[in-house]
Amino acid sequence: MTNPRDEPATRVVLRPLATPLPLGFLALALATTVFAALQLGWIPPEQGRVAALTAIAATVPLQLVSSIMGFLARDPVAATGMGVLTGTWAVVGLTTYTSPPGSTSAGLGVLLVTAGISMFVPAVSGLAKLVPASVMALAGVRFIVTGIYQLQAAPTWKSAAGWVGLALAVLALYAALALELEGSHRRTVLPVGRSGPAAAAVRGEGPLGTAELAIEPGIRPQL
């Protein structure tokens, strides 16, 4: 008869992952602020390449990391939202960089409207965390309004896109700060609108209010 003590021990190594949303939201604030300043005329059209480089060199790589970490953490809302933002800002940055200053593009307009509608998929799916979901929804609105401007080249839509972009930057900064404080203090410091399993996850509880037992080692239903 085999002695259980003689059998090799099984060791499970856990790799905790923090939520990637603060990094993604701060990267979003960078791009949307610079492009808003350009759309509102606070910086001249000739400085559009600076906005393009901000999107390409800063926002895109940071949001790509956030998307990958979202998949690794099994957070489909963060992974999908950051993935769509990554691709969209990459196209916006490259198009702005290679186009004449102040020009518009109908092709870019179609992409932005489509991307804006797509952002409502992770936004609706992530309503258990209201503030992050609102950031993704407002990002969708920002893309749609900018897309309409690219299609119509109307100054009214250009200004509207700029103001929506600034509102998005403020909301993204708040969401990043709230989630960062929550992760550092392991409790809610600034409200993020958590409900249901998302609220229970912060307290270390399962969806029924009991101590959470992960189905797989190191896996939690919500970040």
Domain span holding position 156: 21-185
Q: Which of 12-26, 32-46, 48-62, 153-167 has the lowest mean pLDDT?
A: 12-26
DSSP string, 11-60: ---------SHHHHHHHHHHHHHHHHHHHTTSS-GGGHHHHHHIIIIIIH
- Do 115 and 144 touch, CB atoms closer than 8 A? no
Q: Would you say residue 179 lies in a domain?
A: yes
Phi then psi for residue 194, to 5 deg, are -70, 145
194 bridge partner residues = 129
> Degrees (nearest 5) of the Cα angle 192, 17, 25?
45
pLDDT in tens, 143-161: 999 999 999 999 999 999 9
User: Residue 128: what pLDDT?
Assistant: 85
Q: Would you say residue 63 lies in a domain?
A: yes
Cα–Cα dist 198/191, whole Å: 13
Q: Would you say residue 209 lies in a domain?
A: no
Number of domains forming the structure of the chain: 1
pLDDT > 80? residue 127: yes
pLDDT > 90? residue 56: yes
User: Residue 218: what pLDDT?
Assistant: 45
pLDDT > 90? residue 136: yes
Q: Would you say residue 196 lies in a domain?
A: no
> For all residues of the chain together, what is the average pLDDT?
85
pLDDT > 80? residue 206: no
Cα–Cα dist 46/188, whole Å: 43
Residue 201: band (very low, low, confident or very high) from pLDDT cuts 50, 70, 90: low
Q: Would you say residue 203 lies in a domain?
A: no
Q: Would you say residue 6 lies in a domain?
A: no
pLDDT > 80? residue 40: yes
Residue 187: band (very low, low, confident or very high) from pLDDT cuts 50, 70, 90: confident
Q: Would you say residue 10 lies in a domain?
A: no
Residue from 163, 174, 52, 68 nearest 102 by CA: 52
Q: Would you say residue 107 lies in a domain?
A: yes
Domain CATH for 81 = 1.25.40.600
**Helices assigned H by DSSP within the chain:** 21-39, 48-53, 60-72, 76-98, 106-118, 120-125, 130-152, 155-185, 197-202
Give percent of the chain with pLDDT exceeding 70.
78
Residue from 33, 39, 34, 28 nearest 149 by CA: 39
Range 193-204 average pLDDT: 55
